[in-house]
């Protein structure tokens, strides 16, 4: 969140203190006096820059000038400042370049605070470019430095960043852990920080925690944190923060279908954004309000709000949200019979989506276009639009699966990296303990050697024997841990493959069933030629829904995790068919009746009958639970 700073007050602070920050420098820099003086020098130069120049550009020019005149040991500060500027401009490659230079020199001259900021900047770059495992690696490096120099502000800041990073890969348990650790530091009060600034930090963290719970679907918990953040923002008279909290709370109520309350909150937030002239945020709220009006059936009001939002998004060049506005307007027009306007909005949506590769929105546009042609009675064009929608759905699904796989990989790599860091840390502790123990023993042995040479020899022999035995024990423990870790990883990987494949089959069958249902409803109104085409497509859909290749691959993944399951069942009853074995496997995976029926391409009632027949064949009595029985099979 960007703070608004009074320029003349800032100049007054620079003139008196040589600093441009609201914190006491001891919070940031501990004993690093060079950085304090350097910061004062840099910002004193800004007073010489004409006020008409953009502040960011002027700052960058001054920093670039200082590179040529300052000694090498003072350059890491300048490089880190340039990295921050480039990150704010979303020029992440340039930001990484400056941060890497800062890291190299800060390590050379042993400047821990600059090492911290260099690692932080690199973590920030990788976070915004989607390389989350690397972002977490640099964040942990920064955290290690902050703990070493015992700087609570820097620790709290990196904890908050780690919380955001883990949220990106849906590791909400770890995300919340780091947010709460950061909050604990802030609530205990960071040294030399005003109560007002502490309350501001607390408000930001409460908002982040609320967002994590909202993304987890725990709306009541999220609401509590958003409300507490809102109370703090009001106490601080932070209008920008108040509007953000109101919008977040409105989103929670909208998810819970409490549209009247959501509308009041959105409108209150809109008034604040209006007073602050924040046009882009106004447009987001107008879009939210338009959607709420559509949900409550107030179509005239909905159209007005959505049109205003679209106009602002067009002016500020936010293409993605402009497409969303057009799609909402198209859906509204289809509901109210304004077909010509709906077609115009859909055409614009498709054109922008194709140009900017917004496949999800292009898919949604073709879905609405299919509804448009159906309403107009142009069934062939409706079918063509539906086919395009299906093609884009496959593309989006593949992309989503690739993203999920990447996220799983990022989580795995991150957890592996954390374990390696823990192991290295423990090894360093053991080494340090051995060094300390060895020093003590050597000192004692030297004293004893003067009096009793024989005792020295005995002591050395005993020490060597103990060391050898300890080495053997450590070696065996390490081998045992590595074997256990490898088996656990293999089992997790196989389980993920099985679950992913089952979800893939379920998603495919659901999509095919929806398409089959749509085609069946088209068929009575189509001419003979189109009916024949529809019949061919439906037969092909049914063949795809009953594909044995999918089941063969499913069985392969399933037997990797449950290698004796099918053999045990067949030994239990020789009457079991392949359909019985498929059903037993799906029950073993804890799929509900609806999901299992979709995968087997039968109705839920048919599936219940199949379950009953399976119970009979397995000889279970009425009180014995089928799912529990199958779950106990090794």
Q: Residue 568: is its pLDDT beyond 80? A: yes
**CA distance between the termini of the chain:** 53
The C-alpha atoms of residue 353 and residue 320 are separated, in whole angstroms, by 8
Q: Residue 184: is its pLDDT beyond 80? A: yes
How is the chain split among helix, strand and coil, in percent rounded to 5?
85, 0, 15
Q: Residue 506: is its pLDDT beyond 50? A: yes
Output the six-digit token pair for 137.
């690696």
Q: Which of 1-10, 85-94, 212-221 has the lowest mean pLDDT?
A: 1-10
φ and ψ at residue 513, rounded to 5 degrees: -65, -40
Mean pLDDT computed over 380-385: 88
The C-alpha atoms of residue 309 and residue 303 are separated, in whole angstroms, by 10
> Is 332:303 a contact under the CB 8 Å cutoff?
yes
**Three-state SS annotation for 344-383:** HHHHHHHHHHHHHCCHHHHHHHHHHHHHHHHHHCCHHHHH
Identify the H or E element spanning 400: helix 379-451
Q: Residue 135: is its pLDDT beyond 80? A: yes
The C-alpha atoms of residue 80 and residue 120 are separated, in whole angstroms, by 9
Q: Which domains does the chain have, with CATH numbers?
A: 1-193 (1.25.40.10), 564-634 (1.10.10.10)
The C-alpha atoms of residue 531 and residue 535 are separated, in whole angstroms, by 6
The C-alpha atoms of residue 187 and residue 487 are separated, in whole angstroms, by 42
Mean pLDDT computed over 183-200: 82
Q: Residue 100: is its pLDDT beyond 90? A: yes
The C-alpha atoms of residue 506 and residue 593 are separated, in whole angstroms, by 12
pLDDT the model gives residue 15? 28
C-alpha dist (Å) from residue 290 to 308, 316, 340, 566: 9, 19, 20, 54
The C-alpha atoms of residue 336 and residue 297 are separated, in whole angstroms, by 10
pLDDT the model gives residue 494? 57
Q: Residue 266: is its pLDDT beyond 90? A: yes
DSSP notation for 432-446: HHHHHHHHHHHHHHH
Output the six-digit token pair for 202.
């607390």
Q: Residue 219: is its pLDDT beyond 60? A: yes
pLDDT band at 418 (very low <50, low <70, confident <90, very high): low
């Amino acid at each position: 969140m960007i703070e608004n700073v009074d320029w003349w007050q800032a100049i007054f602070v620079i003139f008196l203190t040589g600093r441009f920050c609201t914190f006491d420098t001891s919070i940031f820099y501990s004993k690093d006096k060079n950085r304090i003086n350097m910061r004062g020098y840099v910002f004193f130069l800004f007073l010489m820059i004409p006020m008409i120049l953009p502040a960011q550009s002027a700052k960058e020019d001054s920093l670039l000038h200082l590179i040529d005149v300052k000694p090498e040991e003072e350059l890491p500060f300048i490089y880190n400042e340039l990295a921050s500027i480039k990150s704010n401009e979303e020029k992440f490659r340039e930001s990484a370049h400056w941060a890497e230079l800062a890291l190299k020199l800060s390590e050379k001259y042993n400047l821990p605070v600059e090492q911290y900021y260099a690692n932080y900047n690199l973590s920030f770059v990788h976070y915004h470019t989607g390389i989350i495992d690397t972002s977490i690696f640099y964040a942990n490096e920064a955290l290690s430095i902050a703990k070493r120099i015992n700087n609570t502000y820097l620790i709290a800041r990196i904890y908050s960043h780690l919380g955001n990073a883990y949220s990106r890969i849906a590791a909400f348990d770890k995300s919340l852990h780091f947010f709460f650790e950061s909050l604990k530091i802030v609530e205990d009060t960071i040294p030399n920080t005003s109560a007002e600034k502490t309350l501001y930090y607390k408000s930001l963290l409460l908002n982040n925690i609320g967002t994590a719970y909202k993304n987890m679907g725990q709306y009541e918990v999220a609401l509590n944190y958003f409300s507490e953040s809102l109370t703090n923002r009001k106490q601080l008279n932070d209008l920008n923060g108040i509007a953000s909290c109101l919008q977040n709370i409105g989103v929670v109520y909208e998810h819970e279908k409490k549209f009247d309350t959501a509308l009041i909150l959105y409108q209150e937030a809109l008034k604040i954004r209006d007073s602050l002239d924040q046009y882009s945020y106004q447009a987001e709220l107008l879009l939210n309000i338009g959607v709420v009006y559509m949900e409550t059936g107030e179509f005239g009001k909905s159209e007005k709000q959505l049109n205003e939002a679209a106009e602002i998004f067009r002016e500020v060049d936010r293409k993605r949200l402009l497409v969303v506005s057009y799609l909402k307007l198209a859906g509204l027009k289809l509901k109210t019979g304004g077909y010509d306007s709906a077609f115009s909005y859909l055409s614009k949506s498709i054109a922008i989506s194709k140009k900017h590769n917004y496949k999800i929105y292009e898919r949604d546009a073709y879905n609405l276009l299919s509804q448009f042609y159906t309403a107009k009675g142009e069934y062939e064009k409706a079918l063509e639009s539906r086919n395009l929608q299906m093609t884009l759905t496959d593309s989006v699904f593949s992309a989503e699966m690739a993203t999920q796989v990447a996220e799983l990989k990022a989580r795995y790599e991150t957890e592996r990296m954390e374990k390696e860091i823990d192991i290295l840390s423990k090894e360093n502790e053991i080494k340090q303990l051995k060094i300390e123990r060895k020093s003590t023993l050597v000192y004692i042995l030297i004293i004893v050697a003067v009096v009793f040479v024989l005792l020295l020899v005995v002591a050395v022999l005993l020490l060597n024997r103990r060391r050898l035995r300890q080495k053997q024990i450590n070696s065996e423990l390490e081998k045992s841990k590595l074997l256990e870790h490898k088996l656990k990883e293999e089992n997790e990987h196989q389980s993920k493959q099985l679950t992913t494949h089952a979800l893939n089959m379920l998603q495919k069958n659901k999509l095919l069933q929806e398409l089959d249902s749509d085609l069946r409803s088209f068929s009575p109104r189509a001419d003979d030629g189109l009916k024949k085409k529809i019949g061919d497509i439906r037969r092909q859909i049914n063949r795809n829904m009953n594909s044995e290749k999918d089941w063969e691959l499913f069985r392969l993944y399933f037997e990797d995790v449950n290698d004796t399951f099918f053999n045990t069942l067949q030994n239990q009853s020789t009457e079991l068919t392949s359909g019985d074995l498929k059903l037993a496997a799906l029950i073993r995976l804890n799929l509900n009746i609806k999901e299992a029926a979709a995968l087997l391409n039968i109705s839920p009632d048919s599936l219940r009958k199949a379950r009953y027949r399976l119970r009979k064949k397995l000889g279970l009595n009425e009180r014995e639970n089928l799912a529990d029985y199958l779950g106990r099979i090794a």
